[in-house]
Amino acid sequence: MPETHAARELWCIRKGLVPYADAHALQKELEAARQAGRVQDVLLMLEHPPVYTRGRRSEPSELPMGEDWYRAQGIDIVDTDRGGRLTYHGPGQLVGYPIMSLKPYRDDVHEFIRRMESAIIAALADVGIAAGPIEGLTGVWTHEPRKIASIGVHVSRGVTTHGFAINVNNDLQPFEWIVPCGIDNCRMTSVANELHAQFDMERFMDIVSREVGVAYTRLPVRQDSVILAGAEAA
């Protein structure tokens, strides 16, 4: 059955700086609503206070200083149900959580991730940064190579959560203290580092929203809130 115009929409929600636990709870609400067909596909965009998040394949060696040392630096540590390994989130980094149905993409999570990579690559190209994938690794890299974006998703009952993190204006030092994404000697970069200037986050979210829409053949629609079970949830 062909999709209706409304079903092709991608609801884009911007939330600013949100603690990781609160953002995860909101994702779970939106996931349940998407599974029940009460909302369209959603792209939740926000930033987190400093936090290391561990994926399902993370290992203790990825935090070589020991957890107490990192917490003493003001960085929380959280276990997640996403794929992938350890990464860092902090202010100035754009985190995107697509809560989307996999059905239009043949329930193929690898296809879904490839589209995500292509959206990030296109968004970076739009601001003058050449980047791409590396064979055998997930994420997006500049050509030096330096990693500029990380990807990790979770799928439940055909709906995705978690997603991507693009380094825009964030401090890169916390990456130096860990083994990011389980990759030894992984060098990180950011939009600001590549352009030698801070980049306006609102403008970058506009660009990312557009390119995610292109990659997933969805029409981005700005939503300031989404009503779930009769209460404002975004």
Positions annotated as catalytic residues are: 181
DSSP H helical segments within the chain, as ranges? 20-35, 67-72, 109-126, 173-176, 191-195, 201-215
Please, what sign has the CA dihedral across residues 101, 104, 107, 111? negative
CA distance 178 to 74: 15
Residue 67 CA to chain centroid, in angstroms?
24
Q: What is the three-class DSSP state of 160?
A: strand
- At position 38, the amino acid (one-letter code) is R
Distance separating the N- and C-terminal Cα atoms of the chain: 30
Please report, for residues 16, 20, 184, 214, 217, the alpha-carbon distance to residue 47 in angstroms, rounded to integers and kept in the order given. 6, 9, 26, 23, 25
DSSP H helical segments within 89-182, as ranges? 109-126, 173-176
CA distance 187 to 200: 24
